[in-house]
Amino acid sequence: MNILVVGSGAREHALCWAITTSALTDQLYCAPGNAGIAQVANCLAVGVDDTPGLLAACADHAIDFVVVGPEGPLVSGLADAVEKAGIKVFGPSAAAANLEGSKGFMKDLCGKYRIPTAAYGRFTNAIPAKDFIATTGAPVVVKADGLAAGKGVIIAETVSDAHAAVDDILGGQFGDAGAELVIEEFMEGEEASLFALCDGTNVLPMAGAQDHKRVGDGDVGPNTGGMGAYSPAPVLDAAMAERVMAEIIRPTVAAMTAEGRPYKGVLYAGLMITADGPMLIEYNVRFGDPETQVLMARLDSDLVPALMACADGGLDKITLDWKDDAALCVVMAANGYPGAYDKGSVINNLGDADAQADVTVFHAGTTNNDGATISTGGRVLGVTALGSTIAVAQQKAYAAVDTINWPGGFCRRDIGWRAIDS
């Protein structure tokens, strides 16, 4: 079977790395890919938002199965377009991807089907939004309704900060994504993510993971796309994972079917484990980045039949095995990230890091220039290691990080601290 993975991040590198080992894979392509992905797949110079270009690439390369990485094309209907062209696809329809595309839609669904999540209101006008904030007090969470590249969530510590967030978002800070607001009660607890594959009817839980969103050690500073992750997540033990499946994920999949939007693909639940039990923070309709890097490192089964069952049905006949080892991923980003960052610096000694036992270096923002690996900025590498415990995986990952010679980049030095200290 010829498979096309859509995307260019370390998440897609990890997916390609897993897919390339499948007995079902003949040729593996990635659009557009990066320098690391080029080592395991044929990269095609087609952007993730170029639906006609992707369909043409499918025809040119006799693609049988398309695996979509990022949320943007899913919310815009790429899975529908691929399916309409008669090609199997891993990823939800636009109607189902609305779970991530509209936070208000997700919250209304939870309200209707009694799925535990923070109390909320939806607003398109500042005056009722501020009246609502007067009832919640601070801290309170103000969110742009639509996709805002992970930046549309403001945790307001004071009422005046919340008012400013309302004015900024409705004033156009995030463009159309902020035409509507969701304002939520602030939940306290520990965050974790659980991933589940869905075929519209059946749900197969994958492993849990925890990530670090803030740029600085100790989880301080601005939010990022994610500076590191580890799996398993100690806060999501087997009993808690089963509660999340029973109280949140299975009811959501049933609700989506009842609403005429059957969910097929991976459902990524962002959770707050509170004193009262698990609560849903948000849904994502694709794999997480950097969580996918640690999930793929731990996966001990062929990924492709599971992804195909999401499209074809029959997920109830699939089992996935996971290594007992823990995995930990340290993200290396270009200096300046998540603000304006440097581009074009040379990264040396990657091969030495990758050659270390139990280590895989997944690429995100890289390109190849005459054999040299060049940073294209943002999050650039995901240095991922397996170990008998999270502490051992952490030690191996940082040993590999320290082998890489890249003055143009940085990383946090404390990925996994919560799991290791507890």
Binding site for ligand AMP (CB under 6 A): 118, 141, 150, 153, 155, 184, 186-187, 191, 213, 270, 281-282
User: For ligand AMP, which is the closer residue by CB, 77 or 270?
Assistant: 270
Q: How far is the CB of 210 from ligand AMP (least distance, A)?
A: 11
Q: How far is the CB of 227 from ligand AMP (least distance, A)?
A: 13
User: For ligand AMP, which is the closer residue by CB, 28 or 177?
Assistant: 177
Q: How far is the CB of 150 from ligand AMP (least distance, A)?
A: 6
User: For ligand AMP, which is the closer residue by CB, 29 or 337?
Assistant: 337
User: For ligand AMP, which is the closer residue by CB, 65 or 417?
Assistant: 417
Residue 26 structure tokens = 């003949």
User: For ligand AMP, which is the closer residue by CB, 150 or 314?
Assistant: 150
Q: How far is the CB of 211 from ligand AMP (least distance, A)?
A: 8
Residue 373 structure tokens = 């690996």
User: For ligand AMP, which is the closer residue by CB, 215 or 303?
Assistant: 215
Q: How far is the CB of 191 from ligand AMP (least distance, A)?
A: 6
Q: How far is the CB of 297 from ligand AMP (least distance, A)?
A: 22
